[in-house]
Structure 1
Amino acid sequence: MNIQEYEKLNPFAALEHQGRKLVYLIPNSMCLMRAETLFTKEPSTIGWLDSIPTGAVYLDVGANVGMYVVYAGVIRQARVFAFEPEAQNYALLQRNIQANRLGTLAVAWCAALSDTEAFDRIHLSQFLTGGSCHSFGEALDPYLKERKPAFVQGCYATTIDKLVQTGVMPVPHYIKIDVDGFEHKVIKGAADTLQDPAVASLLIEINPALPEHRWIIEYLNGMGFRHDEKQVAEAERKEGYFKGVAEYVFRR
C-alpha cells in the first residue's frame, strides 16, 4: 500500500437513530466496539441524554472519543462543551465532531477537569485511541490504588467553576462526569456552579465502594439534588472489573 492509498482509508460507522445519522470514525477495534455498543453499554446514559431539551447546554467531562458528544449534538441539538485530556482520544473526538458537522454546536478542549488548576501529567492505562481509565496528577487506577502507567503525557487541568467564572462556557444545564475514579475532584471544582439553579441534572459514574464517591452522593443530596435508587440498581454493573459501579442520575 502506498501513502496515497493509506491516506484514503477512513473507516467509520454510521448509525441511524430517531431519524438522524450518527457518524463515528473507527481507526481500531476499541473504537468499533464503542460504536457497536452505543445503545447497550450504558442505556441509562442514553435515556438521560434523551431528557436534554433542544438547545440546552451540555457539559461532557471525560468525553473520550465523543460517543455522547455526538449523540447530544446530533440527536438533542444541544450546545456541547467537552473535555478530554488524553491526546489520542482528543484527536478522534475532534474528528468525530467534524464528521457530524457539529462545529457550530460543539467545542472540545484537550484538558482535564479537577479541583484545581495545574500543569501536571496524565498517567495512561494503555496507549490506545479509545482507551480509558487514565488518571491526572497521580498514577492511580479507577479504585484509587497505585498503578504503574503504560505511558505518561503532559496535561493541563482546570475547574468547572473557573470555566464559568471566566466566561469560557455558560453555566451548564446538564453535566456528565465519567473520569474513572476522580469524579469527586470534578465535583469539588464545581462547588460554586452547582449552586446555580440553572444546573438541572448531573449523570455521574459512581463507585459506592469508594468513600470519595459516597461523599459525592451526600454532597449533592445536601445541595438539593436527588437520585432514584431504582435507576441506580438498573444501571449497576453486575459483574466484571467495574462490578457495583453505576451511572447515578441526579436531578433538582
Structure 2
Amino acid sequence: MALWGRRDRRGDDAAGTGPAPGADGWAEVAFRRRRVRFAIDDPGDSVQKHLVRGSFYEPGLLRRHVEMVPRGTTVVDVGANVGNHCVFYALSGAGRVYPFEPNPRANLLLRRTVAANSGLDAVDLTHVDHGVGAEPAELFPHTPGRRNLGSTRLAERGEAGEAPVQVVPLDSLTLQGRVTLLKIDVEGMELAVLAGAERLVAEHRPALAIEVDDESQDAFWDWAEHCRYHVVHAVKMYRRNINYVCIPRGSGRSPAIHL
C-alpha cells in the first residue's frame, strides 16, 4: 500500500481526479506490523516505483541478506541509494547500519526517510556522504540512466560548477560493532571497494552481498578464492551483472548456487 497524503473518499480523489502518486513526495511500505515512510522524488525511478507500490525493492535478496545478520550486529551498506536496503536491515534487527551514498539526490532522500520514521536509530549517518573505493580520492557522481538513481557512477570529471564527493577506503574508518554483512552495489567499483576493505574483511569475516558487473566476474571469483569465501547464492536479475551472497569458509554452511 502506498499513501500520498490525505485523500477524502468523498472528494475528487475518490473519482480519480486528485493528485497523482508522488505528488507529496512520500511512499508508505508495510513491514510486519508497522508502516515505513520513504521520501521519494520520482515515482517512475527503478527503485522508487516499488516503494510507491508499497513494497521493498528486491525483497527476496533482502531476506537472504538478513539471514546473515545476527541481531544487534553491524551492517555496512555501500551504495545505499534512497535507503531501501539499510532501512530493511535496521528494521530486521541489525544493531547498527552504516549507509554510504555519495549521490546528493539519493542521499537527501535517504536522510529524509531516516528522519521521518521512529525506530530507525540503528541507521548511523556518520559516513553517509562518502563514496567508497580502494584509496582516498575526490570524484564526481554521474547518473547516466534515465529514472534510475541506482545507475550512478563516480567519475574523475564532473560538470562545470559541480562539487566532488570524498571517496574513502573502508579500512580508513572506525566502525562500531561486529560487522556481519558487507553489502556492495556500486556500478562497477565493487573490486575497488573490496580492495579498500582488506582489514575489515580479515578481522570481521562478514557475509558479503555484492552486485558484480560482467567485466569484473573473473576478478571477483579470484578475490573469493584468495579471501576464502563461498558463494551461497547467485542470481542474474539484470542483463549486465550478477548479485551474489557469500560467506567465509569455515562458517558452517555449505555452498549452493542458484542462478
| TM bucket, shorter chain | 0.7 to 0.9
Amino acid at match of 1:60: D
Residue 78 of structure 2 is aligned to residue 71 of structure 1: no
Amino acid at match of 2:186: V
CA distance in 1 between counterparts of 2:184 and 2:198 reads: 14
Cα offset, 1:187, TM superposition:
0.5
Q: Which runs of 5 or more residues in structure 1 are unaligned?
A: 1-8, 140-147
Q: How does 1:151-162 map to 2 (within 5 A)?
A: 153-162=163-172
Match of 1:137 among 144, 155, 168: 155
Query: How big is each residue's C-alpha offset from its partner over 1:190-219, in whole Å with a ceiling of 9 and x where there is no partner?
Result: 1121111x3330100013x31x33212221
Show structure 1 runs of 4+ deviating over 4 A: 37-40, 168-171
CA distance in 2 between counterparts of 1:68 and 1:122 reads: 20
Amino acid at match of 1:200: P
Cα offset, 1:225, TM superposition:
1.2
Cα offset, 1:62, TM superposition:
0.3
Q: How many pairs were matched up? A: 221
CA distance 1:47–1:103, change in 2 (3 Å): closer
Secondary structure of the structure 1 residue equivalent to 2:77: strand
Match of 1:251 among 238, 247, 256: 247
Paired position in structure 2 for 1:5: none
Amino acid at match of 1:137: A
Paired position in structure 1 for 2:6: none
CA distance in 2 between counterparts of 1:127 and 1:91 reads: 19
Contact persistence 2:182–2:209 (CA under 8 A) = yes
Paired position in structure 1 for 2:9: none
Query: How big is each residue's C-alpha offset from its partner over 1:45-101, in whole Å with a ceiling of 9 and x where there is no partner?
Result: 332224422211000000001001111112224311010000011011111111222
Output the TM-score relative to the length of structure 2.
Answer: 0.75
Match of 2:66 among 23, 46, 49: 49
Paired position in structure 2 for 1:236: 236
Query: How big is each residue's C-alpha offset from its partner over 1:12-31, in whole Å with a ceiling of 9 and x where there is no partner?
Result: 22222333332212332126
Secondary structure of the structure 1 residue equivalent to 2:107: helix
CA distance in 1 between counterparts of 2:55 and 2:225 reads: 30
Amino acid at match of 1:19: R
CA distance in 2 between counterparts of 1:39 and 1:56 reads: 22
Query: How big is each residue's C-alpha offset from its partner over 1:143-197, in whole Å with a ceiling of 9 and x where there is no partner?
Result: xxxxx98x9542110011101xxx254552211000011111100111121111x
Secondary structure of the structure 1 residue equivalent to 2:37: strand
Paired position in structure 2 for 1:33: 49
Match of 2:222 among 218, 223, 226: 218
Match of 2:212 among 197, 206, 210: 206
Q: Which has the larger radius of gyration?
A: 2
Contact persistence 2:137–2:168 (CA under 8 A) = yes
Moved more, 56-65 or 28-37: 28-37
Residue 122 of structure 2 is aligned to residue 112 of structure 1: no
Match of 1:192 among 195, 199, 202: 199
Q: CA RMSD in A?
A: 2.8
